[in-house]
Amino acid sequence: MIERPETAVPSIAQRNLEGYVGFANLPNQVYRKSVKRGFEFTLMVVGESGLGKSTLINSLFLTDLYSKDYPGPSQRIKKTVQVEQSKVLVKEGGVQLTLTIVDTPGFGDAVDNSNCWQPVINYIDSKCEDFLNAESRVNRRLMPDNRVHCCLYFIAPSGHGLKPLDIEFMKRLHDKVNVIPLIAKADTLTPEECQLFKKQIMKEIQEHKIKIYEFPDTEDDEDSKLIRKIKERMPLAVVGSNVVIEVNGRKVRGRQYPWGVAEVENGEHCDFTVLRNMLIRTHMQDLKDVTNNVHYENYRSKKLAAVTCNGVDTSKTKGQLTKSPLAQMEEERREHVMKMKKMETEMEQVFEMKVKEKKQKLKDSEAELERRHEQMKRNLEAQYKELEEKRRVFEEEKANWEAQQRILEQQKLDASKTMEKNKKKGKIF
Amino acid sequence: MSESAKPHHPHPQGKGEKNHGSDFSYVGIDAILEQMRRKAMKQGFELNIMVVGQSGLGKSTLMNTLFKSKVSRKSVQPDPEERIPKTIEIKSISHDIEEKGVRMKLTVIDTPGFGDQINNENCWQPIMKFINDQYEAYLQEEININRKKRIPDSRVHCCIYFIPPTGHCLRPLDVEFMRRLSKVVNIVPVIAKADTLTLEERDFFKQTIREELRANGIDVYPQKEFDEDAEDRMINDKIREMIPFAVVGSDQEYQVNGKRILGRKTKWGTIEVENIAHCEFAYLRDLLIRTHMQNIKDITGSIHYEMYRVRRLNESNADPSMLVTRK
C-alpha cells in the first residue's frame, strides 16, 4: 500500500501550559506603553453652516473648542470652502489624547456648490500622502499620524430624504475616509418623523451604494447586541448642547424651549449618547484601524500603481517611491556624504575668507602705519628745512649786520682818521 | 341680510348701525357698506399664494395649517416617493373654500426643486418668469377690446419665502432670491421649522435677518413706502418688528388640557402651533388672512402690477409689434 505523504502544512497544535509563564501580562505592557505615548485622533466635520457642528463638537468633548472669544467657523461667512484644523490636547485619567478637529466652513453654502467637496478630498489625500512619505523614509522614528480617521457628515433634518449634494459628497468620500452620517438638529423631528427619515436615508444610501462606516461584529455576545442596536439607529439623530439646565431637580445638558427641555444625554430624546459612546468609548481604535488598513491602503496602492504603471514618474515625490530600500539606503548614504562634503568645503571657504580678511586688515594697518611714518618723516624734514632756512636767514642777517658793523667801524676809523688828519693839518682856525 | 323694521321704510341693518327710525336727515349713504358686503359674498374672493423654499422646510404642512384643510400639493397629488425634481417646477393647485357664507378661491403655487440642486444659479428665473407671465395674462385681458366683466385674477398676491433655521444668518441664495423678487411681488419671509430654535436663538436670528435685509435693501411686506397714513404705519411698524415670523406647522391634532389643538408631539413636550408663546404662526395667519389680505391684494394690483404694466407699455411704444395678444 502506498503511503500517502503527509500534508506539508503543519497544523498549529494547541498546547496547555504547565505553569504560569507570564505573557498574559502583554496587554498591560502594551497598555502602559500606549498610555505613555498618548493617542491621536483626527475627526472631520462636514455639513452646511448652521447645522450645529461646532455645538456638537463642544458637547462631545465637553470643552469649549469654539467659544464666544474664538467663534467657530460658522459664525464667519466664507466665500469659498476652506479646511481648517484645530488641535486640542485632552487629558483624562492619565491618558492623553491629541485631538484634531478639521472643520470645513463654507461647505454647501454658496449658490453654486459644484465641487465644494474638492478641498475636502484634497485635504484628506494630502494627509495620506504625508503619511506615505513619512512611512517610506529611512529614518522614521517620529511618525505623526495626521490622517483623517473619521468624517461626521451632517444631514439637514428636512424629513424627506437626502439632497443631491449629500449623495454626491458621500459617494466621493466613502472610499477615502470613514463616513458616519448624522441627522443634525434632531429636535426638529417628532419620533415618527425621525423613524421615517432614517429609513428613507438608509434606503437612499443603499440605492446609491454608499459605503458608510460599518460596525464590526465581535464575538462577544453582549457587544454584538449593543452593535446591533446601534446599527438599527443609523443614521444617528443628534442634538448638541453645552448648556446645563435643571429639570426636576436634576442637572442635565439640554435645550430649553417653552414647551419643554430637550435633553442631550437622554437616549429617548436623541442618539447623542450612542454617538459619543461609539466614537470615543468603544470604536475609536477601530476607526483608526479601518483608516489604516483599508482607506490608507487603498490610497497607497492607487498611488503606487499609478506610478509604476506609467513608465514616466508622474508623481510629485520623485525618486522616493520607485527604488527598493537598499538602493534608497545607498542614495541616502551618498546624499549624506555629499552633504558632509559640502559642509566641509563650506567651512573651508569660510575659514579662507576669514584668513583673507585678517590678512587684509593687517596689511591695511601696516600701510597705514607706513603712511603715517612717511608723513611724520616729511613733517620732520619740512621742519628741518624750515629751521635751516631760518638759520640761513639768520646767518645772512648776521653777516649783513657784521658787514654793516665793519663798514661802520671802517667809517668810524676813517672819520677818526680824517679828524686826526684835520687836527693835524691844523685846527688852525 | 337686510331686515325691514318698519313696513314702508325698509333700511338695512349693517354692523353697528343705529335704527334712525323717522330721521329726515338720514340719507343712507352708509348702506353702501352692506351692498358691498353682499356683492363680495356673491362674487367670492380670490387669493393666490406662492410658497418658495428648499424641500423639507414644511411648506405644504404650513399651507394645510393656515387654511385648516388639505390644500397643499402633496395632499392633492399623492406622491408615493418624495423625489427632488431635477429642475424647478411650478405647480399650482386651486381650491374653493367657504367660511360663514364667504367663498374664497385659494390657489397655492408650489415650487418644488427650488434650492435643492448642487448648483442653484438662476433658480429664481423660472419663478420670476411665472410671476411675470401672470401679470402678462392679466394685462392682455385688460387691453382687450371686448373685456370680460370680471378678469380672472391669477396674479401672485403673496410669496411666502421659507428661511431654513440655521440660527446664524441668511444664505447667499436667500439674499439673491429675495432681492430680485421683492421688486415684483410681496414677499413675506418666515423662519421655517422654528421648533429648532430656543427663544434666545430665535431673537438673535431674527435680528440678524432684519439687519441683513436692511443692508441689502430688500423691502419685504409690509413695505415702508406703501404706508398710507400714521395709523397704518403704527400697525405696520409693529409687524415689521416681528418679521420674519418663526413658524411651526402641523396638521395633526393632539389633546392638551382637555382641548384639541394642532401641534407636534415630541418626547419632551408638545408644541402648540397656535400658542403665541411657542411660535408665531398665529401672527402670520392674522397678517395674511384676517387683517392684511385685502391690503396685500391692493398692493399687488396697484403697485406691482402697475409697474409691470408701465414697463411693458413702454417697451411696446418702442416696438409696437411686441404687444400682440397671445391667445
What was the pLDDT predicted at B15? 42
Instruction: Specify whether the CB–CB gap between A186 and A238 falls below 8 A.
Output: yes
Helix H, strand E, coil C: the string for B242-290 is HCCEECCCCCCEEEECCEEEEEEEECCEEEECCCCCCCCHHHHHHHHHH
Q: What percent of chain B has pLDDT over 90?
A: 10
CA distance readout (Å), A70 to A46, A53, A54, A75, A107: 19, 15, 11, 10, 20
Q: Which residue from A75, A110, A259 is facing B168, i.e. has the nearest CB?
A: A75
Instruction: Supply the pLDDT for residue B11.
Output: 43
Residue B160, pLDDT score: 92
Which of A235-244, A267-276, A388-397, B247-256 has maximum average pLDDT?
A388-397
> In terms of pLDDT, which residue wins out, A380 or B1?
A380
pLDDT of amino acid A373: 95
B270, B264 Cβ separation under 8 angstroms: yes
Pick the closest to residue A59 from A201, A307, A205, A270 (CA basis): A270
Contact A269 B268 (CB under 8 A): yes
Is the minimum CB–CB distance between A78 and chain B shorter than 8 Å? no
Which residues from chain B sit within 8 angstroms of residue A114, using beta carbons?
Answer: 118-119
Is residue A206 in some structural domain? yes
Are B84 and A200 a contacting pair at CB < 8 A? no
Contact B164 A113 (CB under 8 A): no
Alpha-carbon gap: B319 to the closest alpha carbon of chain A (Å): 36
HEC states along B116-177?
CCCECCCCCHHHHHHHHHHHHHHHHHHCCCCCCCCCCCCCCCEEEEEECCCCCCCCHHHHHH
pLDDT band at A212 (very low <50, low <70, confident <90, very high): confident
Establish if A424 belongs to a structural domain.
no
Chain A interface mutation, best of B110, B114, B196, B248, highest count of A Cβ atoms under 10 Å: B196
The position carrying cell 441664495 is B173
With a cut of 90, say whether residue A361 has pLDDT above it: yes
Q: Cα(A113)–Cα(A106) distance, rounded to whole angstroms?
A: 10
Q: Residue A252 belongs to what domain range?
A: 27-308
Name residues whose C-beta falls within 8 Å of residue A128's C-beta, 6 or more positions apart in sequence.
A147, A295, A296, A299, A300
Residues of A in contact with B166 (CB under 8 A): 48-51
- Contacting residues of B for A48, CB less than 8 Å apart: 166
Give me the CATH code for the B41-71+85-249+277-313 domain, please. 3.40.50.300
- Percent of chain A at pLDDT > 70 equals 86
CB contact under 8 A, B118 and A168: yes
Closest by CA position to B58, among listed B180, B165, B178: B165
Q: What is the pLDDT of residue A366?
A: 94
Give the residue, A412 or A389, on which the prediction is more confident.
A389
- Whether A50 sits inside 8 A of B121 (CB atoms) is no
Please give the average per-residue pLDDT across A347-361, as a whole number: 94
Which pLDDT score, from 0 to 100, does residue A348 have?
Answer: 94
Higher pLDDT, B8 or A72: A72
- Pairing between strand B269-272 and B259-266? antiparallel
The CA-based dihedral angle spanning residues B4, B10, B13, B19, taken in that order and rounded to the nearest 10 degrees: -100
pLDDT of residue A65: 66
* pLDDT score at B206: 92
Cβ separation A187–B173 shorter than 8 A: no
Residues in B lying within 8 Å of A, measured between beta carbons: 54-58, 82, 84, 116-121, 164-169, 171-173, 176, 193, 195-196, 198-199, 264-272, 277-278
Q: What pTM does this model have?
A: 0.70
Q: What is the mean pLDDT of residues B137-156?
A: 84
Q: Which residue of A has its CA nearest to B166?
A: A50
* Structure confidence at residue A317 (pLDDT): 47
Give the residue on B whose Cα is nearest the Cα of A257: B198
The CATH number assigned to the domain holding A153 equals: 3.40.50.300
C-alpha span between A355 and A377 (Å, rounded): 33
What distance in Å separates residue B278's CA from the closest CA in chain A? 6
> A75 in a domain, yes or no?
yes
- CB A258 to CB B199 under 8 A? yes
Per-residue confidence band for B257, with pLDDT thresholds at 50, 70 and 90: confident
Between CA A319 and CA A297 the distance in angstroms is 20
Domain membership of residue A240 (yes or no) is: yes
**Which residues from chain A sit within 8 angstroms of residue B57, using beta carbons?**
158
Q: Tally the domains of chain A.
A: 1
C-alpha cell read off for A346: 563650506
Q: What pLDDT does A285 receive?
A: 82
- Inter-chain residue contact B270 with A259, CB threshold 8 Å: yes
Do B173 and A156 make contact, defined as CB atoms within 8 angstroms?
no
| Cβ(B111)–Cβ(B159) below 8 Å | no
For B107-122, the pLDDT digits (tens) are: 888 888 888 888 888 8
CB distance B20 to B33 below 8 Å? no
Ranges A71-75, B167-171, B206-210, most confident: B206-210
